[in-house]
């Protein structure tokens, strides 16, 4: 498979087969998903030793556990005897896992601790130390937990690169700018959508211009204040410039806004007096703590390939989990500031539920788009014609950005498909055979 079968970088077009072909999908699993680092959860989901929950690395189910020493482990959830899931609970607390097929048991760190009638059946010869659950490499970054089974992958920090390290750290700062300032609320929201995983990924990577889809919900003003818009930053009067950051060598992307000056708090989160007061104090603390850098408002992005996030007051991190070329499972973690009063957490919980997920009014618009677009990628005649990614092509790097915003930054007066081009350029180089 040649690069030109997938993408025309000069022309800014992408084949529709990229979304519909099962062969391309198989290549993605091996060359994109198996080689990358995967977001698997957050340390706030494991407050006590013995806590565990199930997560995913691409198509693999993993156990994320905190062992007796307090260390975090990510284990392939596949018994070494016949492959049954060693753990069948979504989450819990215990001192290990017992496979329900023949009863092999494993510690929280994956070590094989018990085999029924070990002495008689194996004459004591089974080398138990070699038959523990397969352990992933693990990285914890400001509370977020990441894993990979690829021995040859770079360290997580190198995988992120300097720009994405800055943005991921910023994403995980609370509204007052404190590092690792969030905790996960509730469980993980999970649902399936009949479309290719990349429709969601490219939307979060760079699509700042599909407000057209959300006009009806925009008019309902589902934002936190209930006053304007579906976003809670829409009332802010200081000019914000659309800002796009892409790492073409790694495929990571950010959508953000940069305020022209330090913006005063504008009651944009005034759901109630208590909530407003929390956000006002947090806003001021963040400006004191971060100074000029507090002009940054992260809106969303993708850590290549399939970890996506939303910010700007409703911080979520999620996964586009590939099931087949035309089917995706979406997982989403909802974050609330850990130092906030309960009124704030509860207000955010309600905001998330009306905004995102299978029942969310905004996300339903997106899912309708992606599932209908999937049919356009699959049908006999329409699949011959590539998709167009030419928006603002050649207009990258129009402004000289502040250095702290990163290397490959585009600040625009309007929108661009710069980020989508970077995402797909990197994706296609991995999927195609080296020429």
101 binds ligand FES (CB under 6 A): yes
| Partner whose footprint covers residue 84, from ligand FES, Fe ion, none (CB < 5 to 8 Å by kind) | ligand FES
CA angle 153/140/183 to nearest 5° reads 140
Cross-strand pairs, 74 = 64
Pairing status of strand 316-324 against strand 105-107: unpaired
Count residues binding Fe ion (CB under 5 A): 1
Instruction: Pick one of 37, 97, 104, 320: the residue that binds ligand FES (CB under 6 A).
Output: 104
Minimum CB separation of residue 110 from Fe ion in Å reads 39
Q: Which stretch binds ligand FES (CB under 6 A): 101-109, 167-175, 189-197, 284-292?
A: 101-109
Q: Where are the beta strands (DSSP E) in 347-419?
A: 387-388, 409-411
Identify which of 111, 92, 98, 112 has the alpha carbon closest to the alpha carbon of residue 48: 92
Q: Which stretch binds Fe ion (CB under 5 A): 28-36, 108-116, 365-373, 409-417?
A: 365-373
Instruction: Give the contacts of 26 (CB within 8 A, at least 6 positions apart).
Output: none
Of residues 173 and 310, the one with the C-beta less far from Fe ion = 310
CA angle 81/87/89 to nearest 5° reads 160
Instruction: Give the contacts of 158 (CB within 8 A, at least 6 positions apart).
Output: none
Using alpha carbons, list the distances in angstroms from residue 232 to 53, 198, 297: 32, 27, 12
81 binds ligand FES (CB under 6 A): yes
Q: Which stretch binds ligand FES (CB under 6 A): 76-84, 126-134, 212-220, 235-243?
A: 76-84
Instruction: Give the contacts of 93 (CB within 8 A, at least 6 positions apart).
Output: 48, 50, 51, 52
Instruction: Give the contacts of 281 (CB within 8 A, at least 6 positions apart).
Output: 176
227 binds ligand FES (CB under 6 A): no
Instruction: Pick one of 23, 29, 82, 192: the residue that binds ligand FES (CB under 6 A).
Output: 82
Collapsing DSSP to helix, strand or coil, 47 comes out as coil
Of residues 102 and 397, the one with the C-beta less far from ligand FES = 102
Give the position of tokens 């038959």.
Answer: 131
| Partner whose footprint covers residue 169, from ligand FES, Fe ion, none (CB < 5 to 8 Å by kind) | none
Alpha carbon 344 to its chain centroid, in Å, reads 23
Minimum CB separation of residue 84 from ligand FES in Å reads 4
Minimum CB separation of residue 54 from ligand FES in Å reads 16
218 binds Fe ion (CB under 5 A): no
- Interacting positions 98-157 with Fe ion (CB under 5 A): none
Q: Which stretch binds ligand FES (CB under 6 A): 74-82, 158-166, 198-206, 425-433?
A: 74-82
Identify which of 373, 13, 34 has the alpha carbon closest to the alpha carbon of residue 197: 373
Q: Is the peptide bond before 305 cis (omega within 30 degrees of 0)?
A: yes
Q: How far apart are CA 251 and CA 243, in angstroms?
A: 17
Virtual torsion, Cα 266, 269, 272, 275, nearest 10 deg: -110
63 binds ligand FES (CB under 6 A): no
| Partner whose footprint covers residue 101, from Fe ion, ligand FES, none (CB < 5 to 8 Å by kind) | ligand FES
Instruction: Pick one of 366, 401, 405, 426: the residue that binds Fe ion (CB under 5 A).
Output: 366
| Partner whose footprint covers residue 104, from Fe ion, ligand FES, none (CB < 5 to 8 Å by kind) | ligand FES
> Is the dihedral angle over the CA atoms 400, 401, 406, 408 positive or is it negative?
negative
Minimum CB separation of residue 62 from ligand FES in Å reads 16
79 binds ligand FES (CB under 6 A): yes
Q: Which stretch binds ligand FES (CB under 6 A): 79-87, 155-163, 266-274, 414-422?
A: 79-87
Sheet containing 182-193: order of strands: 182-193, 327-337, 316-324, 307-310, 296-303, 252-259, 240-247, 409-411
| Partner whose footprint covers residue 366, from ligand FES, Fe ion, none (CB < 5 to 8 Å by kind) | Fe ion
Of residues 56 and 308, the one with the C-beta less far from Fe ion = 308
Identify which of 49, 313, 320, 43 has the alpha carbon closest to the alpha carbon of residue 184: 43
Of residues 64 and 189, the one with the C-beta less far from Fe ion = 189
Q: Which stretch binds ligand FES (CB under 6 A): 17-25, 75-83, 127-135, 322-330?
A: 75-83
102 binds ligand FES (CB under 6 A): yes
Report the chain's C-alpha Rg in angstroms.
23
Of residues 51 and 366, the one with the C-beta less far from Fe ion = 366
Query: Which residues are at the interface with Fe ion (CB under 5 A)?
Result: 366
Footprint of ligand FES (CB under 6 A): 79, 81-82, 84, 99, 101-104
């Amino acid at each position: 498979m040649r690069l030109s079968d997938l993408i025309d970088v000069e022309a800014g077009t992408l084949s529709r087969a990229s979304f519909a072909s099962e062969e391309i999908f198989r290549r993605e699993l091996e060359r994109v998903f198996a080689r990358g680092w995967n977001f698997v959860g957050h340390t706030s989901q494991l407050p006590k030793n013995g806590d565990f929950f199930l997560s995913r690395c691409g198509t693999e189910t993993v156990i994320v556990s905190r062992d007796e020493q307090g260390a975090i482990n990510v284990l392939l959830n596949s018994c070494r005897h016949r492959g049954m899931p060693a753990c069948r609970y979504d989450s819990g607390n215990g001192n290990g896992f017992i496979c329900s097929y023949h009863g092999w048991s494993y510690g929280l760190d994956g070590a094989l601790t018990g085999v029924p009638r070990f002495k008689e059946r194996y004459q004591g010869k089974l080398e138990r130390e070699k038959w523990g659950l397969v352990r992933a490499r693990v990285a914890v970054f400001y509370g977020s937990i990441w894993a990979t089974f690829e021995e040859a992958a770079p360290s997580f920090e190198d995988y992120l690169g300097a720009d994405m390290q800055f943005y991921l750290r910023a994403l995980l700062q609370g509204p007052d700018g404190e590092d690792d300032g969030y905790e996960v609320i509730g469980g993980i929201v999970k649902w399936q959508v009949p479309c290719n995983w990349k429709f969601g990924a490219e939307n979060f990577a760079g699509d700042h211009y599909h407000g057209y889809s959300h006009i009806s919900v925009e008019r309902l003003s589902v934002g936190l204040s209930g006053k304007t818009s579906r976003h809670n930053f829409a009332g802010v009067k200081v000019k914000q410039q659309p800002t796009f950051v892409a790492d073409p060598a790694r495929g990571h992307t950010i959508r953000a806004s940069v305020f022209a000056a330090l913006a005063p708090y504008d009651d944009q989160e005034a759901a109630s007096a208590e909530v407003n007061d929390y956000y006002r104090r947090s806003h001021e603390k963040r400006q004191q703590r971060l100074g000029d850098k507090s002009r940054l408002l992260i809106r969303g992005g993708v850590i290549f390939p399939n970890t996506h996030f939303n910010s700007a007051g409703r911080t979520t991190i999620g996964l586009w989990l590939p099931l087949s070329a035309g089917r995706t499972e979406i997982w989403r973690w909802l974050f609330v500031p850990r130092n906030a009063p309960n009124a704030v957490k509860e207000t955010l919980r309600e905001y998330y539920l009306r905004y995102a997920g299978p029942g969310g009014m905004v996300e339903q618009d997106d899912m309708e788009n992606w599932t209908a677009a999937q049919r356009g990628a699959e049908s006999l005649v329409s699949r011959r014609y590539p998709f167009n990614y030419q928006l603002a092509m050649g207009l990258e790097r129009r402004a000289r950005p502040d250095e702290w915003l990163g290397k490959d930054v585009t600040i625009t007066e309007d929108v661009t498909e710069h980020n989508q081009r970077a995402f797909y350029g990197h994706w296609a180089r991995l999927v195609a055979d080296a020429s």
